[in-house]
Amino acid sequence: MSRYMSSRFADLEAYVPGEQPQDRQYVKLNTNESPFPPSPQVIAAVSGEQVGMLNLYPDPECRRLKSKVAACYQVREENVFLANGSDDILNFAFMAFCDKDRPVAFPDISYGFYPVYARLHGISAREIPLREGFVLAAEDYYDLNSNIVIANPNAPSGRAIPVSDIEQILRTNPDHVVVVDEAYVDFGGESCVRLIDRYDNLLVCMTFSKSRSMAGGRLGFALGSPGLIEDLNKLKFSTNPYNINRLTLVAAEAALDSQDYYRENCRTIMENRCYTVEELRKLGFTTIPSLANFIFTSCPKCSGVELYGKLKERGVLVRCWDKPALRDYVRVTIGSREQMDAFLEQVRAILKEG
């Protein structure tokens, strides 16, 4: 830290994203990307006339895309907020709704960015322990008297809770915002978007990074009551009105015109998830039931950190954590059948090595 850095950030520990190595080709199962390319329409859209228009700023209101998102989710445009990845949305949500006196609560094991945003914005955060087996018990969030952020399905476990649980949490915290991070909802989970008309304290956060193969394009969106959306827009327009670039806007519009393609890809991922869990079970692994495009699994022979290291040597990247509760596990993104077979082959070889 230089002597010029504000003392506000002295205790801030930045989020560490998953590795994006550039040195060699890996079977890359560490950051929950889609193994499938964007749809042909998306590729055509970003290769078209918009490239020649990069001299012009994009539409800061993102009107065309906003109207398509609204139609896709059967909500009104005033229910839609768009930003540069759902990380950008979460940052705005923490900034907008929380402060020293308006604390936030989230599970102690969840997306690692939540505590970072809390610290970044000087928010007091309460981490609520998950129950045995990474189970989120809805009643632990009733009447909390604080804002709440829940990833559903949760990360890194992949476990999901039903919409009825989310509704109870909303009902018992009427004076606080409940952010439901549905980054992984398209792989078998149940979205709570239909509740936004009934609960003006609900903000549902989604992304094009996973099910819509656009992690590199950076597009996230949030759906919620017009008041919450207005608050988020106030902050976006006080930070960077052009936070979504021209190419991403047209790519996302084209992605929404390719629903069948992405639905089919999600189906394949879910099949591959089932296949991988079953093959790992035969090898003695224990896997947490997942409704996401990743699984959280523990090896019968070695720790998560060890398995991660051995797999990396063999050209397969997965993710592990050093936290005691997570140490036995690796998180494995579900990719194509070929990628999962390559992963399983290396796992079998590692187990044979002893």
- Which residue ranges make up the site for ligand PMP (CB under 6 A)? 85-87, 111, 151, 155, 181, 183, 207, 209, 215, 220
Identify which of residues 155 and 350 has a Cβ nearer to ligand PMP in the complex.
Answer: 155
CB of 49 to ligand PMP, least distance (A): 27
CB of 149 to ligand PMP, least distance (A): 10
Place of tokens 């609960």: 199
Identify which of residues 85 and 103 has a Cβ nearer to ligand PMP in the complex.
Answer: 85
H or E element at residue 331: strand 329-333
Q: Which two tokens stand for residue 232?
A: 């988020």
CA 8/CA 248 separation, integer angstroms:
33
Q: Which of 128, 134, 120, 119 is nearest to 148 (CA)?
A: 128
CA 281/CA 71 separation, integer angstroms:
42
CB of 114 to ligand PMP, least distance (A): 9
CB of 308 to ligand PMP, least distance (A): 17
What is the number of alpha carbons within 13 Å of residue 164 lying toward its C-beta?
A: 0
Identify which of residues 87 and 186 has a Cβ nearer to ligand PMP in the complex.
Answer: 87
Identify which of residues 1 and 16 has a Cβ nearer to ligand PMP in the complex.
Answer: 16
Identify which of residues 209 and 346 has a Cβ nearer to ligand PMP in the complex.
Answer: 209
Q: Nearest 5 degrees, angle CA 94-CA 100-CA 102?
A: 65
Q: Which of 198, 320, 259, 242 is nearest to 69 (CA)?
A: 259
Burial 171-191 (b: 16+ CB within 10 A, else e): ebbeebbbbbbbbbbbbbbbb
**Total length of the chain:** 354
CA 212/CA 43 separation, integer angstroms:
13
Identify which of residues 20 and 145 has a Cβ nearer to ligand PMP in the complex.
Answer: 20
CA 243/CA 84 separation, integer angstroms:
6
Rg of the chain (C-alpha set): 20
CA 145/CA 84 separation, integer angstroms:
30
Q: Are 95 and 240 in contact (CB under 8 A)?
A: no
CB of 1 to ligand PMP, least distance (A): 26
CB of 209 to ligand PMP, least distance (A): 3
CB of 215 to ligand PMP, least distance (A): 5
Identify which of residues 150 and 350 has a Cβ nearer to ligand PMP in the complex.
Answer: 150
CB of 188 to ligand PMP, least distance (A): 15
Q: At what angle do helices 337-353 and 304-313 cross, to 10 degrees?
A: 110
Collapsing DSSP states into helix, strand and coil, what is residue 220?
strand
CB of 30 to ligand PMP, least distance (A): 11
Place of tokens 């599970």: 107
Identify which of residues 181 and 231 has a Cβ nearer to ligand PMP in the complex.
Answer: 181
CB atoms within 10 A of CB 323: 10
Identify which of residues 210 and 310 has a Cβ nearer to ligand PMP in the complex.
Answer: 210
**Alpha carbon 320 to chain centroid distance?**
17
